Chain A
Amino acid sequence: MKISWYAVTLALLVAGIIHIIAVLGIPQIAPRNAWTRLTTLADVNTLVVLPQPSPAQLILHMMAPDMRYAICRFDLTRGPVRISTRIPDELWTIAFYDSSGTNFYTISGGDIKREKIEIIVSTQSNALLDDETSALIDSEDSLVVNSPNDLGLVMIRAPLAGSSYADRTERALHRASCGRILPGAQVAR
């Protein structure tokens, strides 16, 4: 078979296109995508504290055994979602991801410098909150985060200040909440 350099060049060009499609496509189709794994754990707009990472149970790849996690998958199609939590330790980190796992916003306890925080997540389309919803937001402690899509997730990470802190850290995570801002609802304190 005689090698045709024209065909080789064409093949490499096609290889380049396949390369680009594969790399761009992976976040959408990856079977182990974090979103897919977390969908089985809880409904949308509900906060769940993940079980302690152990050899038998590791929800996500390479989770930290000396950290505790809480997640909330949010769906903003019917309006903004509010996440409220106390921040007992400046090591805590609250990170927001779109459904392909891209981190679009992160805030750490050290940046917050407050004991509690309320974060309103909204899309560009519902960024302008109506008066009724605005009235329900405790403006002093709240922060508005714009999500690029309707679907996403927020993960609260709580590194343990030592193994004796595990119980109290888990209790603090259980007290955090995530849910739609419903007219007529009380502001979480």
Chain B
Amino acid sequence: MFRTMPKIVQLTAYSGLAVVVGLSSAWYMVDRGSRLTTARSGPWSVWYRAGNPDADPYTRAHFARQGRLPVTTTSALYYTANRDDEGDRLTSECDYSIEGKPLDAAWWSIAAYRSSGRLIPNKASRYAFSNRDVARGADGRFSIVLSAEPSPGNWLPTIDSDQFQIMLRIYGPRSSRDASGERRTDAQLPSIKRISCS
């Protein structure tokens, strides 16, 4: 009996190792993505085969787990960011400014969500800005302020949301019509600058 114990312990340890390594690596690659599935540009990350009929199993699993139904990348691109340009987590304790040039697309929209993927409640009922309703300068550049306190101009409230994330949807991305296109769109992505923290 005692002679067999170490073998049982060993078997348990190796089985545990297999389960932990197998599941945690699967979780990481499905939740966060890897170089195989996502492209990063500054704070933005995009699953570049999202919604494609030939999407890899990681991309399929990522969107199935979230319960999202993305359209193909030739029709729309979904960029998400949960960090600012400096790499710090976005939090409602700080104010941010999203600044960018006009994006070459039929429609684009920037929305803020809680980490859980829900919209952030606010009295102004303002959850997003699109190219149709964002106020822009004469040169076409725009600046959206994310803050808990009201701000003049394009204000996207981030009240009591603790950590939050931003999604930039680009519909009809004109520069992504060809296979390698998404990299060219990257150059136009807006920056996320931290203004101040309370």
CA distance A174 to B186 in the complex (A): 36
B residues less than 8 Å from A103 (CB atoms): 51-53, 69-72
B140 at the interface (CB under 8 A from A): no
Q: Is the Cβ of B57 less than 8 Å from the Cβ of A18? A: no
With contacts A14-B22, A23-B26, A91-B171 taken as known, whether A65 is within 8 angstroms of B128 at the C-beta atoms is yes
CA distance A24 to B106 in the complex (A): 35
Residue of B nearest to A107 (CB): B75
A64 at the interface (CB under 8 A from B): yes
A128 at the interface (CB under 8 A from B): no
Q: Is the Cβ of B69 less than 8 Å from the Cβ of A60? A: yes
A42 at the interface (CB under 8 A from B): no
Q: Is the Cβ of A159 less than 8 Å from the Cβ of B107? A: yes
Count residues of A near B (Cβ-Cβ below 8 Å). 58
A10, A23, A55: the one within 8 Å of B57 (CB) = A23
B102 at the interface (CB under 8 A from A): no
A7 at the interface (CB under 8 A from B): yes
Min CB distance A163 to B, Å, is: 6
CB-CB contacts below 8 Å: B166-190 with A: 167, 169, 171-172
B residues less than 8 Å from A93 (CB atoms): 71, 75-76, 171
Instruction: Tell me whether chain B's interface is mostly helix, strand or loop, or mixed.
Output: mixed
CA distance A103 to B17 in the complex (A): 36
Contact with A along B25-43 (1 / 0, CB 8 A): 1110110000000000000
A residues less than 8 Å from B167 (CB atoms): 62, 64
B135 at the interface (CB under 8 A from A): no
A residues less than 8 Å from B111 (CB atoms): 62, 64-66
Min CB distance B92 to A, Å, is: 14
Q: Is the Cβ of B22 less than 8 Å from the Cβ of A65? A: no
Contact with B along A8-47 (1 / 0, CB 8 A): 1011101111110011101100101110110000000000
Spell out A's residues near B (CB within 8 Å).
1, 4, 7-8, 10-12, 14-19, 22-24, 26-27, 30, 32-34, 36-37, 53-56, 58, 60-62, 64-67, 90-91, 93, 95, 97, 100-106, 108, 110, 153, 155, 157, 159-163
